[in-house]
A and B are shown apart, each in its own frame.
Chain A
Amino acid sequence: EVQLQESGPGLVKPSQSLSLTCSVTGYSITSNYWGWIRKFPGNKMEWMGYISYSGSTSYNPSLKSRISITRDTSKNQFFLQLNSVTTEDTATYYCAKERSSGVYWGQGVMVTVSS
Chain B
Amino acid sequence: NAGVTQTPKFRVLKTGQSMTLLCAQDMNHEYMYWYRQDPGMGLRLIHYSVGEGTTAKGEVPDGYNVSRLKKQNFLLGLESAAPSQTSVYFCASSYSLSGGLTDTQYFGPGTRLTVL
**Same complex:** no
Binding site for A on B (CB under 8 A): none
Binding site for B on A (CB under 8 A): none
